[in-house]
Amino acid sequence: MREPAEAERDTEAVSRFVESFAAQLVEAGVPRMPARVFSALLASDDGTLTSAELGERLRISPAAVSGAVRYLAQVRLVSREREPGSRRERYRVHSDQWYEAVTNREVIIKRWEDALREGVASLGADSPAGRRLAETLAFFEFLEGEMIAMMDRWRTHRDRTFGR
């Protein structure tokens, strides 16, 4: 069965999905406007929309789109692309956006590990606070190793499932 083209879809149903998924992202800690923009991009067939298209679909200002896209680009959930022969930019969500976001967190976890090591050294590993920091450090080191292995398993699963 073929999926309907975007023009043939129930725009109200799509809008409800966008807002519902955005609400789930907000509950997980994503700011509201970036969550809405990301959801709208995710729901577009080619994964790209211009600022004007996003503003129209979400009924938001160009400034709101700009701030949301800036946030999403920073956390690697979207990228900016120039339209050929135009000064307009298109914003793209990639099929590997989740991988990019998780991989980006790996860099943050490494920074936390470095800070925690410094904390353990300054507080003393035998102090109650030093032991608490050491346990937190061990958790992040464990998490880092698990994420690397998990992402390898994901790539294998994705290739098998989607034929990449």
CA pair distance 1, 117, nearest whole angstrom = 55
Decide if pLDDT at 32 tops 90. Answer: yes
Decide if pLDDT at 19 tops 60. Answer: yes
> Domain 6-92 carries which CATH code?
1.10.10.10
Section 126-154 average pLDDT: 92
Decide if pLDDT at 164 tops 90. Answer: no
- Written as one string, the DSSP assignment of 93-155 is --TTHHHHHHHHHHHHHHHHHHHHHHHHHHH-TTSHHHHHHHHHHHHHHHHHHHHHHHHHHHH
Residue ranges of domains in the chain: 6-92, 97-162
Spatial CB neighbours of 72, under 8 Å, sequence gap ≥ 6: 34, 37, 38, 78, 91
Question: Coil, helix or strand for 59?
Answer: coil
**What's the pLDDT tens digit per position in 61-71?**
999 999 999 99
Decide if pLDDT at 2 tops 60. Answer: no
Reference 70, options 32, 34, 18; nearest CA is 34
Decide if pLDDT at 137 tops 50. Answer: yes
**What's the pLDDT tens digit per position in 53-63?**
999 999 999 99
**What's the pLDDT tens digit per position in 76-95?**
889 988 877 877 889 999 77
